[in-house]
C-alpha cells in the first residue's frame, strides 16, 4: 500500500502519502515454521491427496509439486518455455 501511494505522490496524483502514518501501527504476524513430514508419513499424505474430492486441477498441481519440488508460485506462474523438452510417453 505504501508503495502504491508513494507512486501516486510521485505522479502528483495526491499530495501526501497517508500510509506513512500507519507505519509500525500494525504488527506483522509471527512466522510459523512447520516441520517436514517424516518419511513414514508420506504414504498417508499420498492417500489423502488421491482421496481429495475437490478440484482435479488442485490434486494434479500438488502431485506435480511433489515431483519437482518448487515453490507453489513458481509452479502456478511457470511458462512452457521454462519446462523445456520433457519427453512424453504416448499411449
Please tell me the pTM assigned to this model: 0.51
pLDDT at 83: 79
Give SS3 for 5: helix
The DSSP secondary structure of 17-43, one letter per residue, reads -GGGGGTTTSPPPPP-PPPPPPGGGHH
Mean pLDDT of the chain: 88
pLDDT at 85: 72
pLDDT at 91: 59
Give SS3 for 72: helix
pLDDT at 90: 61
> CA geometry: angle at 56 spanning 55 and 59, to 5°?
100
Distance in angstroms (rounded) separating the CA atoms of residues 36 and 43: 14
State how far the alpha carbon of 75 is from the alpha carbons of 5, 7, 37, 70, in Å.
31, 30, 21, 7
pLDDT at 6: 92
Low-confidence ranges of the chain (pLDDT < 70): 86, 90-91
Amino acid at each position: 500500500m505504501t508503495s502504491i501511494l508513494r507512486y501516486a505522490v510521485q505522479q502528483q496524483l495526491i499530495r501526501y502519502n497517508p500510509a506513512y502514518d500507519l507505519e509500525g501501527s500494525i504488527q506483522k504476524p509471527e512466522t510459523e515454521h512447520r516441520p517436514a513430514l517424516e518419511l513414514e508419513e508420506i504414504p498417508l499424505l499420498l492417500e489423502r491427496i488421491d482421496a481429495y474430492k475437490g478440484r482435479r486441477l488442485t490434486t494434479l498441481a500438488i502431485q506435480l509439486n511433489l515431483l519437482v519440488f518448487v515453490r507453489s508460485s513458481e509452479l502456478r506462474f511457470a511458462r512452457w518455455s521454462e519446462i523445456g523438452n520433457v519427453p512424453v510417453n504416448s499411449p
